[in-house]
């Protein structure tokens, strides 16, 4: 499928996998920076019936950018905002 890159450096493309007679289409997003790299596949019940054209790569990139922001901030026990 096609691809998209968000302003945050998250790149996404449409992927698919077939198991038996069921094909699942889903966005696969990735990023890499100085100290982290990850890939994120978002598979939902809606994906089971989706076509590649139904996948909103920009929306997927936005969701994964939030995952990236959440996982790259320091862990602060008690969530007091300061470590």
Q: pLDDT per residue over 26-72, tens digit each? A: 999 999 988 888 999 998 888 777 889 989 999 999 999 999 988 87
pTM here is 0.74
pLDDT band with cut points at 50, 70 and 90 for residue 22: confident
**What total of structural domains would you count in the chain?**
1
Whether 18 is in a domain gets the answer: yes
Angle at 32 between CA 27 and CA 34, to 5 degrees: 165
Q: Regarding predicted confidence, which is higher, 79 or 39?
A: 39
Residue 80 maps to a domain: no
Q: Is 67 part of any domain? A: yes
Residue 78 placed within a domain: no
Domain that holds residue 10: 3-71
User: Per the domain annotation, does 31 fall within a domain?
Assistant: yes
Task: Please report whether residue 56 resides in a domain.
Answer: yes
Does residue 83 form part of some domain?
Answer: no
């Amino acid at each position: 499928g096609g691809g998209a890159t968000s302003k945050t450096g998250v790149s996404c493309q449409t992927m698919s996998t077939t198991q038996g007679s069921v094909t699942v289409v889903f966005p696969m997003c990735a990023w890499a920076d100085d100290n982290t790299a990850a890939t994120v596949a978002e598979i939902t019940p809606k994906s089971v019936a989706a076509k590649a054209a139904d996948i909103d790569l920009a929306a997927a990139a936005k969701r994964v950018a939030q995952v990236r922001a959440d996982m790259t901030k320091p862990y602060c026990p008690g969530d007091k905002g300061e470590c």
